[in-house]
Every structure is written in C-alpha cells, then in structure tokens.
Amino acid sequence: MRYLHTCYRVLDLERSIDFYTNKLGLELVRKVPIGEEATNAFIGVPGDPEPRLELTLNHDRQTPYELGEGYSHVAFAVEDLDALAERLERAGGVEFESRPHAISTGTRLFFVRDPDGYRIEFVERR
C-alpha cells in the first residue's frame, strides 16, 4: 500500500489552482471533468510523478464548505522556510496563520490558509 492523494472540495477551482500553482509553486498535472456534475484538478509537487492533491469543484455548489472540526492540515517539507514566507508575502493574497518559528525540537514551521480556508503547514527540518 502507498499513499496517493488528499482531496479537497473547493468553491472556486480557478482561484484554488492559482493559489497552489502561482503562489505555492506546485504544478497542475491535469483537470478532469466528472460528468456534468464536477471537475477534478490534480496538483503535484514538481519532480514527484504522483499528484498529491485533488481539488474537486461541484458545479452546483454556491456556498463555502464547512471544514469540520476533525480536519487539521496538510504539510510540505521545504528547504528554505524564510525564502518561501517572503515569496508568499510578496505574492499577496495569502493568509498567514503563523510566521516562521522554531518549536522545541528545533524544527521550524509556519502555517497558511488556502482560498477555502484549508490549513497548510510548511516545515524546515535542520
């Protein structure tokens, strides 16, 4: 068994694709219509052959989804946490939940929220 991907339902697919590709630097691997009801966009990390995030737009949805109290976040490992935070700040339109900081183990991290409010953690391990 191996992990494939996480799926989020989103309200505005193009806005979400823009966030993940143009702001976070991920890649749109493919967009697939699911009949007349929905469209899936698969987002990947550059160099990883398997897209790890599936964004689903249900065409008839008009209101934001409730995220639920059990969901927490997805996480990405990065080499230069400060450079990423600066790039996201310059890009604008990114909601920072926290700024780069160290935790007791020495690992550094910060959180942002995507356009639908999903939490994303960036981790720099030394």
Q: Distances from the Cα of 55 to the Cαs of 15, 34, 51, 95, 125, in angstroms?
A: 11, 12, 11, 19, 28
* Set 86, 97, 121, 124: catalytic member: 121
Alpha carbons 68 and 10: distance in angstroms, whole number: 14
Bridge partners (DSSP) of residue 89 are none
Q: Active-site residue 121, yes or no? A: yes
**Nearest by Cα to 8 from 66, 73, 53, 69:** 53
Alpha carbons 86 and 51: distance in angstroms, whole number: 26
Which residues form the catalytic set? 121
